[in-house]
Structure 1
Amino acid sequence: MGRSLFRKLLFDDSNEDEIVKEVVMDSTSQRKRRSYIICNHLAGHERLYLDYFTDSLVYPELVFWRRFQMICSLFLILFLKVEAHDLYFFQKRNGGKKLGLSSFQKITAALRMQQYVWIGETTALQSLKKSVTMVVDIFFEEYLRKPNNKTLLNC
């Protein structure tokens, strides 16, 4: 609200209904909309898929190992099991009916590769939290164990 409206409220003896109308009109005319950032999620998915998961790879297995700290086949096992365990990792449409992030992008983001798949910080953190929970739920019995004395001494 501007200064002129406050002056009117202080010095004008007009009808209360008129003042209420003016306040309502003034507040509704200044409503701000959210800014929309155009992210090309589809291009990010295509780039990720073509670089690492097709028959004609852009980058060799060694580069995949350096970026993800695991071999591609292990990543694919994680991907399939985590995707099957939680619907969060499926690609969905947003409120504007546009496709959201793909499963590959969300799981890659969980492995701290946000810049590579063109996604925001919130999505990356949410993907990380969900994927850690899923990995513990899925692989706890098979891979995770309590530390033994030897492990504790090496810390």
Structure 2
Amino acid sequence: MSHANLMNNYFDPNSVYIEEDFRRHFRMRRHKRDRAGRLGFSPYQKVTVALRMMAYGSSADLMDETYGMSESTYLDTLEQLCDTIIQVYNDEYLCKPNQEDLKRLLRKAEDRGFPA
């Protein structure tokens, strides 16, 4: 049901929210036309590729045959996704380590044979 709501609200031709709402909520365009006026790849395609690249450590050139995007599109999408994750979660999850964290990390490194 949540998938159906998402589709109805943002992706169906007569969606509840307009392009600007989609962009504000998801920090990306719903659809983008290239310079030739052709409709670009959907957000589903782009996010799927970026997540697969991160999950499996795949390089952009390995994804070409499967998804049909250019290497630059893969890399741009991956960079945009990573930048968005950093913006959204930076304050809560990507904070600088405090003294206690540093001591714990140095102990782990020493236990694994790295010099202090």
TM-score (norm 2): 0.49
Between Structure 1 and Structure 2, whose CA radius of gyration is higher? Answer: 1
Structure 1 length-normalised TM: 0.39
